[in-house]
Structure 1
Amino acid sequence: MSTVFADGSLFSNVLILGTGFSGLATSIKLRTSWKEADFHLYDRDHSWGGTWAANTYPGCGSDIPAIWYCLTSDPKGDWSKAFPPRDEIYDYIQKLVAKYELRHMATFRTEIEGCKWNADEKLWYVNVRSLETGKKWVHKCRVLFTCKGGLVEPNRVQIEGLYTDFKGPVMHTARWDHSVDYTNKNVVVIGNGCSAIQVIAAIHDQTKTLTQFARTPQWITPRPEFVPGRITRFIFTRFPFVLHLLRTIVFFVIEAAYPMFKKGWLGTFIRRIRAHHATQNIRKKSPEKYWKVLKPDYEFACKRLIFDCGYLGPALNNPNMELTFDRVVKVESNKVITKDGNSYPADIIIDATGFDLSGGFTNIPFIGEHGVSLEDFWANGRVSAYETVLVPNFPNNFLIFGPNSATGHNSVLFAIENAIKFCESVGVKKLISGETDYIGVRAEAYDRWIHDVDSSHAQGLLQQGGCQSWYLADNGRNATTYPWSQLTAWLRARWIDKNAIVIGNGEKKTK
């Protein structure tokens, strides 16, 4: 329960910014092994869920096997499909919120306008604004967990006439309007990533025409469509150790794909096999007219892989569906015009161009020790976080699923749990209990981390595979993905370099 001061400010021992899986996993940890009840969460959305609250488009789901896409504290074995659909993931989150009595711990529809470190009090001052009433207040805390996910804010496509001349609805996949009826309508989809593939596979047979405008081809790989039966679900529910064993096996199977993201003979061998398999799948499922344009000219695993969920077939086999790489340059009242001068009818336009990752954590102004802003500290290609969690000059602020924590092959939930375990290893329980009032990372340790991350990425496919990926910043640096295996992340979260961490000391602010 937050303390209210006479000046209207609030205090909680722990604040969590974000109610997606990062915020949920942190809250569960606080509730259970960390034994802390004085915490609060803020989120700009309307409910718990993060990415899974924001993305509700048809066909939305995870591309990670279902039994691995759940928290270790609460494994789930009764998924309806091998790869979990969005609604089941969202329902799983809501059940955990109810189980751990977290619903009243969060305030929604709020914007974090800034976070400032007070060196005298060893507190974070968090400025909050209600998106519904406009009311502003300050919420102070001793420990701050920044759980800001990346797949939430839309990257809106900009085309002449799209928002001014077009008479029909325009909607981004991350802001899906369920009141729009696309039945027997001329639908245009702009984009060729995971969201576009999923939504096309889900709605193609309900539209009059569906035209997809893609910029570059993607490596689309087949996925198993195993549906757990009643007996399987019963075994997982009745005998939890079987589920834990299978989860461990799935982890190592998924992790075996890690070498393909690196140079060397093993990576080359795995990529050639996977690329051959993907190419054969294209020829098996899609019309011959698309065979050449669907196969990328860059190396396999250079971008995030996309799993086929019914896009190659039956979607591309639908006679009312057309895929083109001709670029849309103008939108008129009921049609789109392309660079080659072609015209396509349009009643509805779906923007499936992904998410805006440009601001990242700097969308929230952070002011740390010595008045240093996080945006300035991260300038000149220094965006990262030590072990994906800590940044110098910003003590007691733990970034969960922070920079360089994403993976191209494994579950984000595993990365989140590794980050939380790292927090535990550096002594966050002592910080929460008051045994210490300061935890930070040394600047020299951060510099070594940056060097090691960049050196490892320089040997990887994401920077050397001949493609432009959303993993990379405009300067070509990768501040998104983890440079080593997730097994390495698991080990580093438990066996830390204690010399890199500062505990109990910090800036002594002069009067």
Structure 2
Amino acid sequence: MSTVQVVKESHENPTKFRCRYEDADQILGPNSWVPEDDSLPVIRTESKIAIIGGGFGGLSAALTCIKEVKEKDFVIFEKHADFGGTWYANTYPGCASDIPAVWYSFYSELNSNWSALRPPQYEMQEYIKHVVDKHKITEHGKFRTIITEARYRTETADWILTARNLDNGQKLEHVSKILVACQGGLVYPSQLRAKGLENFKGEYMHSALWRHDVDFKGKNVVVVGNGCSAAQVIPALLANYEPKSIKQVVRSKHWIMPPLPKFVHTLYRLLSFHRWGILFVRWIIATAAESKYPLYDGTGFWARIVRWINTRTSVSYIKSTAPKKYHDILIPDYKIGCKRMIYDYVYVPSLNDARVDLTDDGIDHIEENHVVLKSGTRVPADIIVACTGYDLKKAFSSFNYYGDDGVSLKDVWSKEGASAYETLLVKNCPNLFVLGGPNSATGHSSVVLALENGSKYFSKVAPKILDGTYKSVKVKTSVYDRWNTTVQAILEKKVFGTKIGGCVSWYTEGGRNETAYPFSQISAAFRMGSPKWEDLELERGDSKKHV
């Protein structure tokens, strides 16, 4: 395996490496719509493997098909006009991964010239496009195509996908032996819900649907939210957009960690001439991150020790960097790890800018030119930016899967809660692999690593379906149910949005955590690399016999 090198064209022309606002708004906006024109003929296609989603998950699956499975008969369905997923659609100022790019990238496609530890969105998208072009993945893509239904046909042991072209509404039906679902979780913006927003005369936007045509110079800006997106948007606006003022409405507190030392990127630059050097830096970063994993455990000895160290590090950073008047607003009173930590870059230092003001006074209502807080304070507003996160449930249920005998996955998940065995297999759905599915997220690690771990499992099982050894493969119902129960029991003893953690978090909703992975990523690597065949129901390719 060699390294890749982006040419930094994205720094000269970032527009080329981002989704058009109009396209993103059609798909992700509050009034999203899918055209339907049944007067056009139905397009019918087929492939051995179908992949839904062209972000890091879909591309991890594609690279696995090419390199490990040795199968090039696959199609990637992508609702946007290009690959990249989050990194194509999210283009707000300051947008960058909170995990260093040397780790937040494909193991087999290491980049030797990242401009920074956490390069901007457009550079990440340029890297993605470079990998796509290198492996000629574009020829496998069906863009501006949104899946509306996936149905398994038991008699023929294949999946039939129904889709619509987002430009003309033409219907498409695609048949595949294997289906790989890679829709991702942080996709659909959760819009600001505030009384009177419809009366606002200024400009409103969600950070995930950025309006690059809006001029911020000399404007009063209200930013709602203080998670990862807000921590990137605010410093970028201050540095490059010349706003008159920024009022940040803090909705909840987050543990904010200091940025990685600058020497890490210096070391990367020194060693990036060879793949082994890049891997060494990647190993350092991964080891440092994985060392934080014990803090997510409940009340054990090591959990308390690691939590104490990281809590002290965060508090020290905030107190030494942010103005004293904001300390009580910024420093949480719940256990670190209960919400996803923010790995800072320049947010906390930017709070010393005289144009910024923080408040934890909630929004009561919005008027034509003001945001009115619960205290009665009327904040002048020309622009409102909602950094209010994503709708995870919509991401998992934007369309329905129908498995054996037409069993509805939406119905199963609505009754039992969303789950997937080893984060990958869903009961009653043969030959379906979910990358980045329920309980696959981590609070400290690289999502790309998690996706690659899932791809390992896919690479072990899929060839047995493709070569006819097995007509179908699915997780045993009893095993799935046991996994679901076990995972929830384990996560109740972690700090992810639990009573132990002491916070309300998007990890957990209604008492169930359908987001966080219950084990370490080291454990995941071993588990995914060695499928337990006894947990699977295997239908032989030459008969109806199951083993």
Alpha-carbon deviation of 1:98? 0.3
The match for 2:374 is 339
Write the letter of the residue equivalent to 2:123. E
Q: Tell whether 2:256 aligns with 1:220.
A: yes
The 10-residue stretch of structure 1 (211-220 or 247-256) with the greater mean CA deviation from structure 2: 247-256
Q: Tell whether 2:355 aligns with 1:320.
A: yes
The match for 1:434 is 468
Separation of aligned partners in 1, 2:376 and 2:103: 47
Alpha-carbon deviation of 1:401? 1.1
Matches within 5 A, 1:63-462: 63-162=98-197, 164-205=198-239, 206-226=242-262, 232-233=268-269, 235-237=271-273, 239-263=274-298, 264-313=300-349, 315-425=350-460, 427-462=461-496
Alpha-carbon deviation of 1:108? 1.6
The question of whether the paired residues in 2 share the 8 Å contact of 1:78 and 1:228 is answered with no
Separation of aligned partners in 2, 1:231 and 1:286: 29
SS of aligned partner of 1:67: coil
Over the matched positions of the two proteins, sequence identity in percent amounts to 38
Alpha-carbon deviation of 1:63? 1.2
Alpha-carbon deviation of 1:84? 3.0
Alpha-carbon deviation of 1:470? 0.6
Separation of aligned partners in 2, 1:444 and 1:234: 52
The question of whether the paired residues in 1 share the 8 Å contact of 2:267 and 2:281 is answered with no
The match for 1:485 is 520
Q: Which runs of 5+ in 2 are unaligned?
A: 1-40
Write the letter of the residue equivalent to 1:11. E
Separation of aligned partners in 1, 2:383 and 2:342: 25
The question of whether the paired residues in 2 share the 8 Å contact of 1:125 and 1:140 is answered with yes
Q: TM-score, normalised by structure 1?
A: 0.94
Specify whether residues 391 and 92 from structure 1 end up closer, same or farther in structure 2 by C-alpha distance, changes over 3 A only.
same
Alpha-carbon deviation of 1:505? 5.2
SS of aligned partner of 1:493: helix
Alpha-carbon deviation of 1:88? 1.7
Specify whether residues 312 and 245 from structure 1 end up closer, same or farther in structure 2 by C-alpha distance, changes over 3 A only.
closer
The question of whether the paired residues in 2 share the 8 Å contact of 1:45 and 1:108 is answered with yes
SS of aligned partner of 2:459: helix
Alpha-carbon deviation of 1:432? 2.4
The question of whether the paired residues in 1 share the 8 Å contact of 2:403 and 2:429 is answered with yes
The question of whether the paired residues in 2 share the 8 Å contact of 1:14 and 1:142 is answered with yes
Specify whether residues 307 and 229 from structure 1 end up closer, same or farther in structure 2 by C-alpha distance, changes over 3 A only.
closer
Alpha-carbon deviation of 1:220? 1.0
Tell me the alpha carbon deviations over residues 8-43 of structure 1, each in whole angstroms, 9 at most, x when there is no partner: 421111110000001001111112222212111111
The question of whether the paired residues in 2 share the 8 Å contact of 1:14 and 1:40 is answered with yes
Separation of aligned partners in 1, 2:47 and 2:247: 51
Specify whether residues 247 and 404 from structure 1 end up closer, same or farther in structure 2 by C-alpha distance, changes over 3 A only.
same
Matched length = 498
Separation of aligned partners in 1, 2:271 and 2:317: 33
The 10-residue stretch of structure 1 (181-190 or 227-236) with the greater mean CA deviation from structure 2: 227-236
Tell me the alpha carbon deviations over residues 225-279 of structure 1, each in whole angstroms, 9 at most, x when there is no partner: 5277788536323x21222233223322211110000021111111112111211
The question of whether the paired residues in 2 share the 8 Å contact of 1:82 and 1:225 is answered with no
Write the letter of the residue equivalent to 2:478. E
The 10-residue stretch of structure 1 (373-382 or 336-345) with the greater mean CA deviation from structure 2: 373-382
The question of whether the paired residues in 2 share the 8 Å contact of 1:80 and 1:228 is answered with no
Alpha-carbon deviation of 1:457? 0.6
Q: TM-score, normalised by structure 2?
A: 0.88
Write the letter of the residue equivalent to 1:32. K
Q: Which runs of 5+ in 1 are unaligned?
A: 1-5
Alpha-carbon deviation of 1:80? 1.4
Q: 2:49 aligns with which of 2, 5, 14?
A: 14
Q: 2:76 aligns with which of 41, 55, 59?
A: 41
The question of whether the paired residues in 2 share the 8 Å contact of 1:41 and 1:106 is answered with yes
Q: 2:508 aligns with which of 472, 490, 505?
A: 472
